[in-house]
Structure 1
Amino acid sequence: MSLHWTLIAGFLYGEIATLILLLIPFISASRWNKLFKSRFFKGLENQLIYYFYVLVAILVLFFLDALREMKKYSEESAHTEGNAASHLDTQMQQHMRLFRAQRNFYISGFSLFLCLVIKKMVMLISQNACLEAERHAAMKQATSASKAAESLMSSGSAKDESTLEKKLKETETELSTAKKDLESMKTQSENLSTEYDRLLAEKDRLERKVKVLDGGDDKNTKKDD
């Protein structure tokens, strides 16, 4: 494997490690969000966005180059197999080149895909942390409104009955609004959890494919030796 493809393969393994780290269950979304919102990451935010798009552009170029080589060697391999006079060594070399082109195609494709997946996961984690904070605030508001209603009911008197009823209605309205906000946040949190599980399943599928490709690469390397 050439140097640049070795670097891309190493980058792919780094992406897989990053995904595993982001999916660790005992690290909450709020902790990740604090890290993402830290002064260090805030200072690098503009530069990171720039480098991210540069990296995506580079991966796209390597992906297209691998696709071109795969198509080229596929046609040459078909032509060699159709020629009865071709030597077995020549056919083996064509198959080897085709396999390497396919390997590079999958490595660059997976690297590009996981790069976008990580960006999406970071955004989902940040949104989930914000929803958690809003849910806690809504719960506190609902609890405060409930306590205020109980206090008004227990301390009411006959002369202040109309005032208490008005305050009680206002309190009930606030409580109803807080409950609606809580249900909406719960629905959004469930949607984020579903998306999170889907990304985890996609990550597992990609890891299995990468292991299969690495196994095939090792076998062909032994054949070259």
Structure 2
Amino acid sequence: MSLQWTIIATFLYAEIAVVLLLTLPIASPSRWQKFFKSKFLAYIGNQAYIYFFVLVGVLVLCLLDAIREMQKYSEGGDKSEHQHLDAEMQGNMRLFRAQRNFYISGFALFLLVVIRRLVQMISELAVLLAQSEASFRQAQSATTTARTLLAQQGAGDEQSKKEAEELRSKISVLEKELAKEKKDKEAVKSQAESLNREYDRLAEEHSKLQKKITVSSGGDGKKDE
């Protein structure tokens, strides 16, 4: 394997490791969000789009080169002509290498898009969970305060009765908001469960892709021997 494709294969293995880290339940979305917001990643994030499009461009060029090589060696020439066995084996070996390079570059390009989408989904989930928790605590605090003020009100004049009625109405509104926040929190939990199921599906798909790469690499070793 040439230096170019060795680097791309190494990058592919690194992508598989990153995807496994993101999909396995080793950290909560909030911890991943803190990691993504670290100083080092924040510095890289300022130019993330440039790096992303450069990597996509390089992988697309490698993919097109592999497709060109596959078409070149799959033609095979005129079957009526007598060819030496060594030349035929060499052509088959080059075709196999072109197919291997096609899978490597294609999987690397696919996983690059998957990693970018996973990072976005984890960040969005962390923000939603933080907003839901803050709203829930605010609603609880407001309800507790309103109930305390209502308890302190005595049986006084008409003004006191009006204020008590207003407090009751506020409590009713706050309780409705609290119920709404609870529903929103349950919706966020449901979304998190669906994301976990999506992560598990992606992990299974990546495991299958890794097995294909391993088989392709093993076959290449046999051809080189």
| TM norm structure 1 | 0.86
Q: Is the 8 A contact 1:142 1:179 kept in 2?
A: no
Structure-1 separation of matches of 2:14 and 2:165:
67
Deviations 1:158-191 (A, max 9, x none): 5534234223222223223323422332343233
Deviations 1:14-73 (A, max 9, x none): 111222222342222211111111222222212232122111101000100100110110
Structure-1 separation of matches of 2:181 and 2:52:
39
Hey, what does 2:57 align to over in structure 1?
57
Structure-2 separation of matches of 1:191 and 1:216:
38
Cα deviation for residue 124 of structure 1 reads 1.3
**1:6-155 equivalent positions in 2, closer than 5 A:** 6-76=6-76, 79=77, 82-83=79-80, 85-145=82-142, 147-148=144-145, 151=148
Q: Aligned pair 1:186/2:189, yes or no?
A: yes
Q: Is the 8 A contact 1:56 1:112 kept in 2?
A: yes
Worse-superposed segment, 168-177 or 48-57: 168-177
Q: Is the 8 A contact 1:5 1:104 kept in 2?
A: yes
Deviations 1:73-126 (A, max 9, x none): 0112xx35x236222222211111110110111111111111111111111111
Structure scoring higher RCO (CA < 8 A, sep ≥ 6) equals 2
Structure-2 separation of matches of 1:187 and 1:89:
61
* Partner secondary structure for residue 85 of structure 1: coil
Worse-superposed segment, 111-120 or 10-19: 10-19
Q: Aligned pair 1:209/2:212, yes or no?
A: yes
Q: Is the 8 A contact 1:145 1:174 kept in 2?
A: no
Root-mean-square deviation (CA, aligned residues, Å) is: 2.2
Worse-superposed segment, 101-110 or 8-17: 8-17
Q: 1:157 to 1:200 in 2, by over 3 A?
A: farther
Query: Tell me, which stretches of 5 or more residues in structure 2 are unaligned?
Result: none
In the alignment of these two chains, the number of paired residues is 219
Identity %: 50
Q: Is the 8 A contact 1:66 1:101 kept in 2?
A: yes
Query: Tell me, which stretches of 5 or more residues in structure 1 are unaligned?
Result: none
Structure-2 separation of matches of 1:25 and 1:45:
24
Structure-1 separation of matches of 2:115 and 2:180:
35
Q: 1:158 to 1:173 in 2, by over 3 A?
A: farther
Q: 1:201 to 1:149 in 2, by over 3 A?
A: farther
| TM norm structure 2 | 0.86
* Partner secondary structure for residue 50 of structure 1: helix
Structure-1 separation of matches of 2:27 and 2:193:
18
